[in-house]
């Protein structure tokens, strides 16, 4: 007797490997540097706004997230029709694929990149076309362009790239977009936008205004520190944004998340201060690593990448011993989030111990 059979693609969905929680060791503080979370407590006013929303938990949230759309439209200077709010930008990936891909359609993205892409593509019964990063751990946009076929429905550019760190430049993105066929949706996943400090940085808003096939994915999970509440948004010209809204989960974004996101937008000065502090800490760690002989890739997000190959799990275990939990990608490398300075000091200590055998690996 056979039971119900899920669609064949379901057995091909890779498992999401979440960052581990820290190992608790009596007498020492442990730090979680495994999920690119914001180490700061909530921004001023956010707990109060979320608490007020909790009091109406017996009611459904505003399904249209109206106040949040208004706040985002005002903040970004875009029409409401160009926005799609969702339960985190991970949900936006699913919505994009549901709206644009038939089974077997191809989705091109760099690899290694964000863990959720292959999962969402497999869940949609679409086909992943993974284009290897360059030796500098950057997107190979020329190779991604060459990978586009008549079956391609979407291309994802993750900038800064999670887990390796580099961003594309506006010049590179413009040259790429000039060549991508107009019917292919180009996602620019800007989850770490706020941390970017580089010349010729991508200006997502002017890019989407110039290209009807571009969609920006943004999130409150990283710089804004609301990872636990699940809220993000897309910016695209109205037809693409409407398609994303059409397939959204009704009542997906909770009232607490809507209120917290609005309050976070209102706390921008405090946000920017914290982001600046994290960027300074990232740069301190980058410089410290280079002094110790490590050739890490350009880090534009709130994390650094160690291309350790086969020694990745060994490095992660040694980090555990020092009370910092990092995110190993077996056989490839280790991503370490920027957190508290004490955690950064421990990372530098660990990096000193590993100098020699892997110095110079990019």
Residues in contact with ligand PLP by CB under 6 A are 36, 88-90, 114, 158, 162, 189, 191, 219, 221-222, 227, 232
Q: Minimum distance from CB of 29 to ligand PLP (Å)?
A: 24
CB 269 within 8 A of CB 189: no
**Which of residues 90 and 133 has its CB atom nearest to ligand PLP in the complex?**
90
Maximal CA-CA distance, the chain: 64
Burial of 246 (0-12, 13-18, 19+ CB in 10 A): exposed
**Which of residues 89 and 127 has its CB atom nearest to ligand PLP in the complex?**
89
Q: Minimum distance from CB of 132 to ligand PLP (Å)?
A: 17
* Closest residue by beta carbon to ligand PLP: 88
**Which of residues 191 and 350 has its CB atom nearest to ligand PLP in the complex?**
191
**Which of residues 95 and 162 has its CB atom nearest to ligand PLP in the complex?**
162
**Which of residues 204 and 232 has its CB atom nearest to ligand PLP in the complex?**
232
Q: Minimum distance from CB of 36 to ligand PLP (Å)?
A: 6
Q: Minimum distance from CB of 221 to ligand PLP (Å)?
A: 3
Burial of 250 (0-12, 13-18, 19+ CB in 10 A): exposed
Q: How far from 102 is each of 107, 139, 153, CA to CA, in Å?
A: 11, 26, 9
Alpha-helical (H) ranges within the chain are 46-54, 66-76, 88-100, 116-123, 141-146, 170-179, 204-210, 238-246, 255-266, 268-291, 312-321, 341-354
Alpha-helical (H) ranges within 292-340 are 312-321
CB 120 within 8 A of CB 142: no
If you count DSSP H runs as helices and E runs as strands, how many of each does the chain have, helices first? 12, 12
Q: Rounded CA gap, 34 and 23, in Å?
A: 12
Q: Minimum distance from CB of 357 to ligand PLP (Å)?
A: 29
Q: Minimum distance from CB of 260 to ligand PLP (Å)?
A: 13
**Which of residues 275 and 322 has its CB atom nearest to ligand PLP in the complex?**
275
**Which of residues 89 and 152 has its CB atom nearest to ligand PLP in the complex?**
89
Q: Minimum distance from CB of 309 to ligand PLP (Å)?
A: 22
């Amino acid at each position: 007797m056979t039971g119900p059979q899920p669609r064949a693609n379901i057995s091909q969905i890779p498992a999401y490997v979440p960052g581990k929680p820290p190992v608790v060791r009596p007498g020492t503080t442990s730090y979680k540097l495994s999920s690119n979370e914001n180490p700061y407590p909530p921004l001023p006013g956010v707990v109060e706004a979320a608490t007020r929303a909790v009091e109406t938990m017996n009611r459904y949230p505003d399904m249209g997230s109206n106040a949040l759309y208004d706040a985002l439209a005002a903040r970004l200077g875009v029409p409401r029709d160009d926005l799609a709010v969702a339960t985190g930008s991970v949900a936006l990936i699913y919505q994009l694929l549901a709206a644009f891909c038939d089974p077997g359609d191809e989705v091109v993205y760099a690899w290694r990149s964000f863990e959720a892409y292959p999962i969402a593509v497999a869940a949609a019964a679409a086909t992943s076309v993974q284009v290897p990063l360059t030796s500098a751990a950057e997107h190979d946009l020329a190779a991604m362009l060459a990978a586009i076929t008549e079956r391609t429905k979407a291309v994802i550019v993750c900038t800064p790239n999670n887990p390796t760190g580099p961003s594309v430049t506006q010049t590179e993105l413009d040259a790429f977009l000039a060549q991508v066929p107009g019917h292919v949706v180009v996602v620019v996943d800007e989850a770490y936008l706020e941390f970017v400090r580089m010349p010729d940085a991508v200006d997502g808003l002017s890019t989407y205004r110039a290209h009807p096939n571009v969609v920006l994915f943004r999130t409150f999970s990283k710089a804004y520190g609301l990872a636990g509440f699940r809220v993000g948004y897309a910016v695209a010209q109205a037809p693409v944004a409407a398609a994303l809204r059409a397939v959204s989960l009704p009542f997906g974004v909770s009232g607490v998340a809507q209120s917290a996101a609005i309050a976070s937008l209102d706390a921008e000065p405090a946000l920017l201060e914290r982001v600046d502090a994290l960027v300074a800490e990232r740069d301190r760690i980058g410089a410290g690593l280079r002094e110790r002989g490590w050739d890490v890739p350009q880090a534009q997000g709130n994390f650094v990448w160690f291309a350790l190959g086969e020694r990745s799990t060994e490095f992660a275990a040694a980090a555990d011993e020092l009370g910092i939990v990092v995110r190993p990608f077996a056989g490839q490398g280790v991503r370490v989030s920027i957190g508290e300075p004490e955690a950064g000091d421990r990372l530098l200590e660990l990096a000193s111990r590993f100098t020699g055998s892997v110095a110079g690996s990019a």
